[in-house]
Amino acid sequence: MAERLAVFLDYQNVHLAAHGLFGKLGAPSESSLVHPLLIAERIGAKRRAPSELVTVRVFRGRPNPEHHPVPTAANDAQAAAWERDPRIRILRRPLNYRGWPEHPPREKGVDVALAVDLIESALLGEYDVGVVFSGDTDLLPAVETAFRRTPPRIEVASWSGAKPLWFPEFLAQSPPRYLPYCHFLNADDFQSVRDHAHYV
């Protein structure tokens, strides 16, 4: 039987890492937008075991429409388009504008939301395999907890050339062990998952 697959995307981290690795020099970061469903399907296709994609959880910030009306409208349009597929669930948190306009707004609470949802959904048995796509090491405690303490198999994903969320204690062993299992997506994968619909 196919394993029920859930993919958890730290969207801004995934998007900006892809832009840094594969985007055209000098191009705006918006030119490297990626589509959550295409990423999740790509990961599922790379798995050795038969997989049924049951949910894609997207975690990202939302701009303040009073400060940034155009980016907010684009963010909202993306969310509406993506959620037409019932498997996609988007969890957005307001960006933190402390220090603005001298300092750009920052995401706040996005990593915590992903961490909580990963563990809660694992405990509820909502999937057989959960794949976390992020390079944010703040997520390591949650990934480790889900990996060690919940029934589903926990894996990670990373762009080729970026650092996966491998557990440091296993990397320090001799020889090193690379856990959790990582699905690497390369430049060709990036081209296949780009979201051209939301960049003009």
Bond from prior residue into 176 cis (ω within 30 degrees of 0)? no
- pTM for this entry: 0.95
Give CA–CA dist 135/139, Å, rounded.
Answer: 8
Q: What is the pLDDT of residues 68-125, one digit of tens each?
A: 999 999 999 999 999 999 999 999 999 999 999 899 999 999 999 999 999 999 999 9
Dihedral angle of Cα 178, 180, 186, 192, to the nearest 10 degrees:
170
Residue 46 C-beta-side C-alpha neighbours within 13 Å: 18
Instruction: Calculate ∠ Cα 22-18-72, nearest 5°.
Output: 125
Task: Give the pLDDT band (50/70/90) at residue 199.
Answer: low
Of 34, 35, 46, nearest in space to 5 by CA? 46
Q: Exposed, middle or buried by CB within 10 Å (0-12, 13-18, 19+), for 133?
A: buried
C-alpha 108/C-alpha 68 separation (Å) is 17
* Residues 24-43 pLDDT 10s: 989 999 899 999 999 999 99
| Structural domains of the chain in order of their starting residue, each with its CATH number | 8-198 (3.40.50)
